[in-house]
Structures are given as structure tokens and as C-alpha cells.
Chain A
Amino acid sequence: MSILIDESTKLTVQGITGRDGFFHTMAMQEYGTNITAGITPGKGGRKVHGVPVFDSVKDAISEVEINTSIIYVPALFAADAIYESIDAGVKLIVCITEGIPVLDMLKICSYIKGSDIRLLGGNCPGLISPGKCKVGIMPAVIHKKGNIGIISRSGTLTYEVAQSITEAGLGQSTVIGIGGDSISGTGYIDLLEMFEKDEQTDAIAIIGEIGGTQEEQAAEYIKEKVSKPVFGFIAGKTAPRGKRMGHAGAIIDGGKGTAADKIKVWNNNGIKVLDRPDIFGQEIKKYLFYSQNV
């Protein structure tokens, strides 16, 4: 298993002729992802790395199979690209684009609430099920097929955790970046539920950061509903108050959302909190070894 993406994923790249879309189409193909179409309005009929380009998602879906979309279009047009995929019937949408206006995201989240459409991001690195499929911008080499699921609000910090797991001789079932904005399509809880059900996943690594209360809500859910061991890290212990730390969502506002608060809540709810991201591999390995030999 693995969650959300695997060998059956049929991907379309929205913004395939742009700088990032072009580069990552090649990288995802090299990894073995089945990219069936690319979308750029006005550039239908071309090919990019052998992938047929269409003017719209609707045009593409009438000719090829698509069940997942990845979005690389500029911020002010990203919301429109998301709606276009929804309209065409795509069920999994991964939005890499950074800097989407908050009110645009609020409307999208409200629009898809309660439906079977899953949106990841914006401002996220995407996801990878090692050995099967990559829908994102992460470097593939640091991943290996295995039994640890990773969920994170950050991009490069996730790479650090994934690499430490691979270096320890373990691997990942699926690695997911949910994005660093204050409003995003998917939070921790839905993914925790999926990992809990996933047979390939034996342990979960969850990476949080300052700002908001997503980590606190996840802790409550983990305590009540997750039986698999969960390891965590919170970034931003040294972050000053009132300053936005790169991510739109990473800000300690009015004294709320500090790393210390979140670490405390996680510790109190059975999450094994580590103080560094580069030791996940060794700590999870130790834990799994002991728990299997008791």
C-alpha cells in the first residue's frame, strides 16, 4: 500500500511549459511517475518530454486518463487552476505554488469541504511513495521504500527527516508536505487517519512548526485514534515573536503558537518528540527494534 499515490496514479501537470513545471515533469518521469498530460492555456498540441500538452484539463481528460493533478502556475492564477481541475473531475490536486492570497484559499477550502476532492498545499513540496510514484519537487535519491509515513508543514526540513530514515536502513511508505501557509487544503488529521489504516506504514513521523494550532489538534487526534507509534519534531524554538519566519503560517501571534507550547502538548499526548530532525532514523529504528523484541 502507501497513501494517496502509487503505480495507479495518472498525473497531469498544470503549468507544464513554465520553468519549474518543465524541470519537474522530467524529474517525476525519471522517477517512474505516469504523466499522461500537461496543461498550459494556448499551448495545446505541443509535447513536453513526450507528454502531450492541452489547453485545458477538460480537453486533456477527454483524451487521456487523469486522476491526479500537480500545479506549478503563478500565485494569482493558482486558485483558478485548482477550480479547473475540480471542474474536470480530478480528485487529488497537489498545489506547489507559493504565495496564493489567503481569501482565495479560504474560498477553495470552503468549496471542497465535505466532497471527495483532496487538495494538498498550496506552498507545499508535494508527496512521494518511494519506489512507486513521485508527485512533487523533492529530491528522489534520499527516499527508500519502507514502513515510515512522514507528514510535514515544511519542504527541505522533510528531506532532512526522510534522509535520516533512509540512512538508518529504514524507508518511507509515503512522504507528504502539507504546506507552510496559514490556510491549506489538507491538514495533519486526515493524513494521520490514512496512515493509521495503511498496512505498509508501521510508524509515523510528524513535523510541525510555530504558528496556528494544527499541531495541538493533531495531538488530540493521535491520542484518541492513532495506535501506531508517532515521532515528532517542532521547528522554531529560537524564533522571535511577531515575526513571520518565511512561511506565511509560521508566526507566533500574540504569544500563541510557540514551539514550547506545541512540544508540551505533543509530549503529553504520547508523541515521541525529538529535539533534532536528523535523528529520526536512528530513534525510530531503536524503538521498532525494542518493541519487536519485547
Chain B
Amino acid sequence: MKIHEYQAKDIISRYGISSPVSYLATTPEQAEKGAEKIGGKVAVKAQVHVGGRGKAGGIKFANAPLEAFTAAKQILGMEIKGIKVSKLMIVEAVNIQKEYYIGLTVDRNTQKIVFMVSREGGIDIEEVALTAPEKIQKVYIDPVLGIKSFQLRRLASALFDEKELRKKVIHILSNMYNLFVSEDCSLAEINPLVLSSNNNIIALDSKINFDDNALERHKYTAEMIDLKEEDADEVEAKEHGLSFIKLDGDIGCIVNGAGLAMATMDIIKLFGGNPANFLDVGGSSNPGKIVKAFELILRNRKIKSILINIFGGITRCDDIAKGLMQAYKSIDINVPVVIRLTGNNEKAALNILKENNFTVFSRLEDAVKVVLKKKVKQVNVL
């Protein structure tokens, strides 16, 4: 789960990391007021989850409250990578000596937490990672042991040469590690971490993502989710226990299991078709999920046909068949539906479907071929 910069800022300050004074604004008037309270130069920053907002014009500087008003007016309502800006952060502009990067994430290979720091912070950190990886110092942390003092010292000396600054940054590094593990983050970074002209180390911008699997034990965090930033259909799918992702094609897919769902899309493509979506109904499916799956898929006007591919394991085939019958009763399904169904409780499912004149394939290849050749006569629609 992703959150906004202003929310991340709240969290890091709870962990004792200082950042510039700021105010949230949803109107140009509020932006003006915020700038007035701060006094002096401010930055007006769009609050969106997507990256690259600076390059897209989502960050502007203002020397006076009225300028902040104008900047806010320009940014509010602007679209950045398809997301409409509705919130701004008005933040005190800092006189910067130098920009640094610090970030934590989980390293899948070593199965450890990795802490990365660099003297080359700022918007081009990804470029640095690619072209000059030696400029990023990494420390791998065993989560059972936690971060050790020598590791903090190593990171600090990779960032600063001066003793005083190393001392200061060790506090920040240690607090960031605590934040990462206490809040079940999947990513926590400060970029840039800046050295101000009066030698303070300040978090100018931070980004925190959370492990979705752990949200249940962080109610406070779970409330920060901004549904406007997510695809509405994908959110609705999630609420119903479905995993759904829209694609560009015209063949709708309903599959059980993520791996099989991906493979089904791949086979459709291999045979010359184009899948319209990834949809995993998940394990232990109840008939209602199938109805919801049809609803979501049929909202897409491009859909020409639907392929159902079920290999019953923990999902029972008869539940799927019942769901299909319910779907035909409750919604208008006006495209051909091809069914491939095999595995646990297959017989019970076939009885239900045959009674209702559906043709069911037990081999995936046959079903995909039928869906692509659009041999609609083989598929009886109720």
C-alpha cells in the first residue's frame, strides 16, 4: 500500500526525524494561508502516488503567499500520469547545501532487510543506481538481530566525512530502521535527505509503502489509504476477494490461481488473441465471486468473449458452476462464454452445466481455440 508524501512526513516525524514546516491544502486559498504562516519562500507540491511529479510540473516555488495561491491554482486539477491532483503540500523552502539518499527495503535474494545510502541523492537516484552502483552503499540486516552499531557507523561514514554530521545522521538512520520494522513497511526512503546551509540534516521528501499482508495489525496505517489513487474496478475486486487487473485486449478471463491466470493470458496471446484482464478468483471461492467477476469484466465495452479456466483444487468446480448460473440469472451476459473446467468436484459441476446446455471443455487448448475462432455455435448461451 502506498501513501502520500504528507502522510509519510507525519510518520517520520513521529519517529523523531525532522522535516520542514508544512501545511496541507486542497484550495488555492488554503495554500495562500499556509504560505503566510510559514513566511518566506515555500514549495507547492502535488500529492499524488505516482513518481515524476516534479518533471510533470507538479512542484512549484513561491516567494510570497499570493504566488503560492497562483501556483496552487495551476497545480490543483492538473493530471499527472492519469491521476488528478486534489491535494497540495505547502512546505517551507530549505537552503540546501547538498542532497543525499537513504532507503530501506526487503531484499528477496538474501532474505534480509537492505539499507541503502548515497551521497548522490535527489531526483536522479535511479539513474545513479544503474550507471554508478558503487556510489550506493548497502548494508544487509538480519531482522532477528536488528541493525547493529557497526552497520550504522558504516552507513554514516558512507554519507558524511565530518564527525558531527555522522553523529547526527546515525540517529536518523537508526530511527528509520525502527520505523521500517515497527510499521511493517515494504519501502521507506528519504530522498532527498538534505544538509541545510546551517548544517542541519532534514528530510525534504520521504516515501513509505506498506506490506499489504500486515495492514491488519496497523489500523492507523490502513486508514491512510487513498482510494481515489487506485483503479476503482481493481479496488472493488479486492473487496470481493478477487485479484483483478485491466489490460488492453478483448477476451475476458476468469481463472483460479494467479500462476494459471497468467499462463492463460499467455496462451491466448500465443494463439493470436489479446487478453482483456488478469482475474484470479482465488481459493475457497463462493458462487458470489463469479457473479462479481462477470460484472467487472463486462463493464469493459471492448469485451468480445469470455474464457473461464478453472482447475479445481481448493476451489471446487461445483461452486464455480453455481456461480455461473447465478451470473446468467442476475446480469445480462451478451458475449459468448467458453468454459474449461476440471479438478475437484468436476462431476457435480458438469451435471449443473450440462443440464443448462453449456459446453464444457476439459482441455485448455480446446477452450482457447474455440474462444479465438469464435465458434459461437459450440457454446450455448442461456
Contacts and interface: CB of A to CB of B under 8 A. Distances in A.
B262 A156 contact: no
Contact of B213 (A101, A142, A210, A243): A101
Contact of A152 (B184, B259, B262, B269): B259
B10 interface: no
B211 A238 contact: no
Interface string B299-325: 000000000000111110000000000
B259 A98 contact: no
Contacts of A278: 363-365
A103 B214 contact: yes
B348 to A, nearest CB: 14
Nearest to B247: A240
Interface in A239-259: 239-240, 243, 245-250, 254, 259
A47 B318 CA distance: 28
A233 B108 CA distance: 21
A182 interface: yes
B344 interface: yes
Interface in A216-272: 217, 233, 235-240, 243, 245-250, 254, 259
B24 to A, nearest CB: 27
B216 A76 contact: yes
A254 B187 CA distance: 14
A102 B313 contact: no
Interface stretch (B71-79, B161-169, B191-199, B275-283): B275-283
B270 A276 contact: yes
Given A98-B283, A103-B184, A240-B245, A155 B213 contact: no
Contacts, number: 171
Contact of B126 (A99, A104, A239, A254): A254
A236 B260 contact: no
A235 B263 contact: yes
A245 B261 contact: yes
Nearest to B106: A102
A180 B213 CA distance: 13
Contact of A160 (B106, B243, B265, B364): B364
A137 B344 CA distance: 10
Interface string A151-162: 011111111100
Interface of A: 19-20, 24, 75-76, 98-104, 106-107, 109-111, 113, 125, 137-139, 142, 152-160, 163, 180, 182-183, 207, 209-210, 212-214, 217, 233, 235-240, 243, 245-250, 254, 259, 275-278
Ranked nearest first, the 10 interchain pairs of A and B with the lowest CB-CB distance are A154-B259, A246-B258, A156-B257, A157-B259, A101-B214, A156-B260, A235-B262, A246-B280, A246-B243, A238-B265
Contact of A180 (B108, B247, B259): B259
16 contacts: A98-B283, A99-B213, A102-B211, A109-B111, A155-B283, A156-B315, A157-B260, A157-B262, A157-B263, A160-B260, A207-B259, A213-B108, A236-B262, A237-B266, A239-B278, A277-B260
B339 to A, nearest CB: 16
B275 A110 contact: no
Contact of A137 (B184, B217, B267, B313): B313
A292 B144 CA distance: 51
A160 B256 CA distance: 12
A212 B313 contact: no
Contacts of B236: none
Contacts of A102: 106, 184, 186, 211, 213-214
A248 B213 contact: yes
A145 B181 CA distance: 45
A106 B258 contact: no
B113 A106 contact: yes
B365 A106 contact: no
Contacts of B262: 157, 209-210, 235-236, 238-239, 245-246, 250
A155 B313 contact: yes
A68 B314 CA distance: 21
Contacts of A101: 184, 211, 213-214, 217
B272 interface: no
